[in-house]
A and B are shown apart, each in its own frame.
Chain A
Amino acid sequence: MNNKPRIGVYVCHCGINIAKTVEIDPVTEYASQLPNVKVARNYSYMCSDPGQLLIREDIEKEGLNRIVVASCSPRMHELTFRKTLAEAGLNPYFLEMANIREQCSWVHEDVEEATAKARKLVASSVAKARLLEPLEEKEVDVEPATLVIGGGIAGIQAALDIANAGFKVYMVEKTPSVGGTMAQLDKTFPTLDCSACILTPKMVDVASHPNIELMTYSQVEEITGYVGNFEVKVRKKARYIDMEKCTGCGICAEECRLKNRIPSEFDVGVGKRSAVYLPFPQAVPAKYTVDPERCLFLTRGKCGESPKCADACPSQAFDFEQADEMVEFKVGAVIVATGFDVFDASRKPEYGYADYDNVLTALEMERLVSASGPTGGKIVLGKGDEAYTPKDIAFIKCVGSRDESVGNEYCSRGCCMYTAKLAHLVHEKIPDANVRIYYMDVRAFGKGFEEFYDRVRREGVRYIRGNPSEIFKRGDKLVIKVEDTLTAKALEDEVDLVVLAVGLEPRKDVREIIDLLRLSQSGDRFFLEAHPKLAPVDTATDGVYLAGCAQGPKDIPDTVAQAKGAASSALILLSSGKVKVQAQIAIVNEATCRSCGYCVEICPYGAIEMVEANRMGHIVSVARVNEALCKGCGACVAGCFSGSIQQKSFKDAQILPQLAVLGVK
């Protein structure tokens, strides 16, 4: 090809988006006069098929070797037009875009000034286009396996979908069992399906699937590498039980000296467990775990003559010498399904959660109404002789949600419906109970939700519009201080039981995952998706996808749908088997590099390392960019003290002439 630039300029009307504010014809005419410009045209929608055809035909007929499209932001259509160039046999990096929409027509009103600015932008793009160089797009192989972090319903669904498609899955779950929060629920709204009944088959599938390697009671310690080629290190924590030998019989827990003394995580403290425990009867795997922070033998080195649990174990599964085990493997994709924390109700001290035993959170209430819970599903408060069945029961919604005073501005999306469900269950179990729900809005947006809300009201659950402000005690009763905002009356409502509909929060240890994968958080502190509408399961890190409440509060239907979306995204990557890596990367001039290593520090992708190089017989340390990891952000280029780093397509020699046209010296 003749290297002399033959440039085509294409000015887009974008309907009236650009044409309303920028006069297209004068800009086109101006462009045609610029040096090296052979063709200048305009069209209503350059991104449309006919628009792209114009470019392809001109490349063929006029022998164009550089293309400038003056239209929208490159974020929108750079890839579209690169493809157009490639289809016409031109290197796709001979494209330059002039953004005359977002940075011109959309932000200006004066037609004359906007047109003048569009001219300048086009001229500067032409200036750079002359200096563009062809770049080569490299491809790397994709490791056909996925890491799923988190074994709740989101992780379970994603893992099963990927495994069923024939790819390997490594699932890492922090607690001793998969199941997550869904396993703790009694019934699910609005269909009142038994949560365990629909979840446990999937839990078992995960454990038995030939393509899934399940690691419970384990934590991801390190992830390095890049899309298609992540290296993962996992710590499998010591259970002090030989998983091969344990049959899950439970004799050890019966013998434990701390039996019924330790608050059960699964029963959120409503029930108690031993120091050696199975989190819940349907736990998967059905293997016991010794709690190293509670076990007398592990904490004090002594438990009676010898630990009764180990003595009683019929299969000699105990091994108090067991150590953590490190496992390493490679995956092509990562799905983050780490779930959420329930809002800590003691952060709203006015509700007395820390003061009164008969103020419960909704999750505690779930365990209380659940047939598998500590009371066998009976709603009983107090113990022994003082046990009683509450008759006046109030639910308070939006506890820790929609509340700037605790830093959570968002709606937790599930509380309205789980409150209706719990109220229904209470009504069913205590038919003569007076159940009221204090609310500020009822958000019943999902399929079948409004119908369920209607049903619960007609069953006799009273909805009172007002968000309570304070709870205190008067005799045996709790007093709720609240205004009925529909009658403008301040009430002191006396009840036996208050259930706080607590919201969902990002995990307290969210930082660990951020550090592992360099993820970002949105304003609500949940993980940030690549685009809220069009890339809801992707992240800014290629090959890393989000599923479930880690990305934001969700109910079960939405969580499952998103998990299937994340699985699908991972599968696209895995089944294509190849991934293209960024071509516009940074390159180091090793001859001038001064070995300071500052670029290594500022690279947000960990793509630069210091290597030894031979400089005229001397071994020196120089920076080198890993081409597969570099995202072309340019931070190192700007940061380099000796000007030794340049970014392809954005070299000083290319962008300084471009800036000069804009009047920047």
Chain B
Amino acid sequence: MTEELQSFIEKYDLLGCIQCGRCTGGCPVTVRTDLNVRRFVYDTVDEEALEELAKMPEVWDCTACNTCAVRCPKGLKPVEVLIGLRNIMVESGVVQPTVRDALESVFREGNPWDKSRATRNDWMKDLEVKMAEPGEPVENLIFVCCTIAYDPKLQVVAQNLVKLLNKAGVDYGFMDTSETCCSSEVHNLGEEGLFEMMVEDNTELLNEYAAKRLVAISPHCYSVFKNQYPDLKAEVLHYTHLVGEILEDKKLELTRELPEKIVFHDPCFLGKQNNVYDEPRYVLGQIPGAELLEFDRSRERSLCCEGGGGKMWVETESKKERLSETRVKDAKELGATVLAVACPFCVLTLDDSLKAKGFEEEMRVAEILELLGEALD
């Protein structure tokens, strides 16, 4: 046990903590759950306590938004302590059935949604999609993301990107059905062993493509490739980098007016975790006729939608208002007609809350690529 303890203390630099409270102070979910991440950093120093601490239900309330790590003045990553505790539970086999199923699905089918691998590229039907071949040079290798590939509500995101790239005439390629979950959420759910395996396999697979750049559509894939895949050869981009570049180089012009009041919600995995704030705003700013609004809580002070950190498979038991509900209320108060996002999970959580609040009449949630599709026609 002593060795394990040392690794926990050392792995998470627990002794570097000065208990200032910025982590819990910044944690977005404290307004609706009992999670106090500072206390976990404090308490996990005690080896005896680890197993009991891992059993506490609030360990699963964390959305892995990373605010605690960004704010920590001593360079600690409190979020990783919670993921370490989740790992203890996963190792002991005591996890919710939804979590177990998602992990098994990643292992078997390469996606967490219990879908067959064979149908991964069904969204491409009737589209002219350029496919990348291993070994053949390609400028931009596009990584779709499981959620976008399978969710009928989100497939339009990938489809619009294809249309846009075709029109712009840039060199790109998609992968065949061997594209496999980036496993960002596998890490966040605490399945360290599976995550390491997926990183190894995916690195090998992706490096087979002679791609200069790997362009992820989801910020979750983007972030994990960028920060947790040390051996990837290609430069990692988010699609807003690429689309921003295309628009800036005038390879494509958005012609159709969209007379909307658009407010952009910063996805945590794009903004707080990777400091990508300007590109999505630049892209939205190119849409003719659109007026851009800003949340008071935007950019570095943006509010999490509660979609990350494995929360797609773990429900938080709280009667208090969801953060996504707070967010759509704020958007409505601003007078926005479109709540724009650049992340599949944000689409799902915010759209649910918009419907729960009954705001469908005056407002909609849209992925940036949905809007670009409309402005292209």
Q: Do A and B come from one complex?
A: yes
Q: Per-residue CB proximity of A397-437 to B under 8 Å, as 1/0?
A: 01000111100000000000000000000000000000000
Measured between alpha carbons, how far is A484 from B22 in the docked complex, in Å? Answer: 10
- Asked if B24 contacts A352 (CB within 8 A), the reply is no
- Asked if A472 contacts B297 (CB within 8 A), the reply is yes
Interface residues of A in 458-487 (CB under 8 A from B): 465-473, 481-485
- Asked if B39 contacts A488 (CB within 8 A), the reply is yes
Measured between alpha carbons, how far is A408 from B123 in the docked complex, in Å? Answer: 50
> What is the size category of the interface that chain B forms with chain A?
20 to 34
Measured between alpha carbons, how far is A355 from B300 in the docked complex, in Å? Answer: 12
Name the contact of B20 in the complex, choosing from A466, A472, A481 (C-beta under 8 A).
A466
B18 contacts A by Cβ under 8 Å: yes
- Asked if B74 contacts A404 (CB within 8 A), the reply is yes
Q: Per-residue CB proximity of A424-453 to B under 8 Å, as 1/0?
A: 000000000000000011000000000000
A341 contacts B by Cβ under 8 Å: no
- Asked if B36 contacts A469 (CB within 8 A), the reply is no
| Residues in A neighbouring B70, C-beta threshold 8 A | 405
- Asked if B74 contacts A482 (CB within 8 A), the reply is no
Q: Per-residue CB proximity of B34-45 to A under 8 Å, as 1/0?
A: 001011000000
Residue of A with least CB distance to B70: A405
| Residues in A neighbouring B30, C-beta threshold 8 A | 483, 490
A524 contacts B by Cβ under 8 Å: no
- Asked if B36 contacts A488 (CB within 8 A), the reply is yes
- Asked if A483 contacts B71 (CB within 8 A), the reply is no
| Residues in B neighbouring A471, C-beta threshold 8 A | 301
Measured between alpha carbons, how far is A404 from B76 in the docked complex, in Å? Answer: 10
Given contacts A466-B21, A470-B301, A490-B31, contact A481 B73 (CB under 8 A): no
Name the contact of B73 in the complex, choosing from A349, A398, A465, A488 (C-beta under 8 A).
A398
A29 contacts B by Cβ under 8 Å: no
Q: Per-residue CB proximity of B52-68 to A under 8 Å, as 1/0?
A: 00000000000000010
Name the contact of A402 in the complex, choosing from B36, B71, B73 (C-beta under 8 A).
B73
Name the contact of A467 in the complex, choosing from B21, B36, B67 (C-beta under 8 A).
B21
Which of B25, B30, B71 lies at the interface centre, i.e. has the most chain A CB atoms within 10 A of its CB?
A: B25
B200 to chain A minimum Cβ distance, whole angstroms, is: 31
| Residues in B neighbouring A398, C-beta threshold 8 A | 20, 73
Given contacts A404-B75, A490-B30, contact A440 B21 (CB under 8 A): yes
B161 contacts A by Cβ under 8 Å: no
- Asked if B75 contacts A466 (CB within 8 A), the reply is no
Name the contact of B25 in the complex, choosing from A355, A402, A404, A470 (C-beta under 8 A).
A470
Given contacts A467-B20, A468-B25, contact A490 B36 (CB under 8 A): yes
- Asked if A350 contacts B71 (CB within 8 A), the reply is yes
Measured between alpha carbons, how far is A355 from B18 in the docked complex, in Å? Answer: 29
Which of A468, A482, A485 lies at the interface centre, i.e. has the most chain B CB atoms within 10 A of its CB?
A: A485
- Asked if A481 contacts B25 (CB within 8 A), the reply is yes
B23 contacts A by Cβ under 8 Å: yes
Name the contact of B26 in the complex, choosing from A352, A402, A465, A469 (C-beta under 8 A).
A469
Measured between alpha carbons, how far is A482 from B23 in the docked complex, in Å? Answer: 9
B295 to chain A minimum Cβ distance, whole angstroms, is: 9
Measured between alpha carbons, how far is A59 from B170 in the docked complex, in Å? Answer: 88
Residue of B with least CB distance to A404: B75
A254 contacts B by Cβ under 8 Å: no
Measured between alpha carbons, how far is A485 from B38 in the docked complex, in Å? Answer: 8
Measured between alpha carbons, how far is A101 from B208 in the docked complex, in Å? Answer: 58
Measured between alpha carbons, how far is A468 from B71 in the docked complex, in Å? Answer: 10
B220 contacts A by Cβ under 8 Å: no
| Residues in A neighbouring B38, C-beta threshold 8 A | 483, 485, 488
Measured between alpha carbons, how far is A404 from B17 in the docked complex, in Å? Answer: 12
Given contacts A405-B71, A472-B296, contact A440 B18 (CB under 8 A): yes
Measured between alpha carbons, how far is A469 from B20 in the docked complex, in Å? Answer: 10
Residue of B with least CB distance to A473: B296
Measured between alpha carbons, how far is A350 from B69 in the docked complex, in Å? Answer: 13
- Asked if A466 contacts B296 (CB within 8 A), the reply is no
A392 contacts B by Cβ under 8 Å: no
Measured between alpha carbons, how far is A403 from B24 in the docked complex, in Å? Answer: 17
Measured between alpha carbons, how far is A470 from B68 in the docked complex, in Å? Answer: 11
A593 to chain B minimum Cβ distance, whole angstroms, is: 51
- Asked if B20 contacts A440 (CB within 8 A), the reply is yes
Name the contact of B21 in the complex, choosing from A349, A470, A473, A482 (C-beta under 8 A).
A482
- Asked if A467 contacts B296 (CB within 8 A), the reply is no
Q: Per-residue CB proximity of B152-167 to A under 8 Å, as 1/0?
A: 0000000000000000
Residue of B with least CB distance to A490: B30
A352 to chain B minimum Cβ distance, whole angstroms, is: 7
| Residues in B neighbouring A402, C-beta threshold 8 A | 18, 73
Given contacts A405-B71, A472-B301, contact A490 B20 (CB under 8 A): no
Which of A403, A469, A470, A473 lies at the interface centre, i.e. has the most chain B CB atoms within 10 A of its CB?
A: A469
A23 contacts B by Cβ under 8 Å: no
B27 contacts A by Cβ under 8 Å: yes
Which of A352, A465, A467, A471 lies at the interface centre, i.e. has the most chain B CB atoms within 10 A of its CB?
A: A467
B338 contacts A by Cβ under 8 Å: no
A395 to chain B minimum Cβ distance, whole angstroms, is: 15
- Asked if A469 contacts B71 (CB within 8 A), the reply is yes
B238 contacts A by Cβ under 8 Å: no
| Residues in A neighbouring B300, C-beta threshold 8 A | 349-350
B98 contacts A by Cβ under 8 Å: no
- Asked if B73 contacts A350 (CB within 8 A), the reply is no
- Asked if A490 contacts B74 (CB within 8 A), the reply is no
| Residues in B neighbouring A470, C-beta threshold 8 A | 25-26, 67, 71, 301
Measured between alpha carbons, how far is A446 from B299 in the docked complex, in Å? Answer: 40
Residue of A with least CB distance to B39: A488
Measured between alpha carbons, how far is A490 from B26 in the docked complex, in Å? Answer: 9
Residue of B with least CB distance to A484: B21
- Asked if B25 contacts A482 (CB within 8 A), the reply is yes
B19 contacts A by Cβ under 8 Å: yes
Measured between alpha carbons, how far is A656 from B38 in the docked complex, in Å? Answer: 60
| Residues in A neighbouring B20, C-beta threshold 8 A | 398, 440, 466-467, 485
Q: Per-residue CB proximity of A482-500 to B under 8 Å, as 1/0?
A: 1111001010100000000
B243 to chain A minimum Cβ distance, whole angstroms, is: 25
B81 to chain A minimum Cβ distance, whole angstroms, is: 16
- Asked if A490 contacts B296 (CB within 8 A), the reply is no
- Asked if A469 contacts B73 (CB within 8 A), the reply is no
- Asked if A405 contacts B73 (CB within 8 A), the reply is yes
Measured between alpha carbons, how far is A304 from B299 in the docked complex, in Å? Answer: 45
| Residues in A neighbouring B21, C-beta threshold 8 A | 440, 465-467, 469, 482-485
- Asked if B301 contacts A405 (CB within 8 A), the reply is no
B14 contacts A by Cβ under 8 Å: no
B276 to chain A minimum Cβ distance, whole angstroms, is: 14
- Asked if A492 contacts B75 (CB within 8 A), the reply is no
Measured between alpha carbons, how far is A355 from B296 in the docked complex, in Å? Answer: 9
B72 contacts A by Cβ under 8 Å: yes
Given contacts A404-B74, A490-B31, contact A469 B299 (CB under 8 A): no
- Asked if A405 contacts B72 (CB within 8 A), the reply is yes
A442 to chain B minimum Cβ distance, whole angstroms, is: 13
Measured between alpha carbons, how far is A529 from B174 in the docked complex, in Å? Answer: 59
| Residues in A neighbouring B27, C-beta threshold 8 A | 469, 490
- Asked if B22 contacts A468 (CB within 8 A), the reply is yes
Name the contact of A466 in the complex, choosing from B25, B39, B71, B73 (C-beta under 8 A).
B25
Measured between alpha carbons, how far is A467 from B20 in the docked complex, in Å? Answer: 5
Which of A470, A472, A484 lies at the interface centre, i.e. has the most chain B CB atoms within 10 A of its CB?
A: A470
Beyond A483-B25, A483-B30, 11 additional pairs, beta carbon < 8 A:
A355-B296, A404-B75, A405-B71, A440-B20, A466-B20, A467-B20, A467-B25, A482-B25, A483-B21, A485-B38, A488-B24
Chain B residues packing against A (C-beta within 8 Å): 18-27, 30-31, 36, 38-39, 67, 70-75, 296-297, 299-301
Please list 22 pairs of residues, one from A and one from B, whose beta carbons are closer than 8 Å in the complex, sorted by A's number.
Answer: A350-B300, A402-B18, A403-B73, A405-B70, A405-B72, A405-B75, A440-B20, A468-B25, A469-B21, A469-B71, A470-B71, A471-B301, A472-B296, A473-B296, A481-B25, A482-B21, A483-B21, A485-B19, A488-B39, A490-B27, A490-B30, A492-B31
For the complex of A and B, the 10 pairs showing the least CB-CB separation, nearest first, are A469-B26, A469-B25, A490-B30, A483-B21, A466-B21, A483-B24, A440-B20, A403-B73, A349-B300, A467-B20
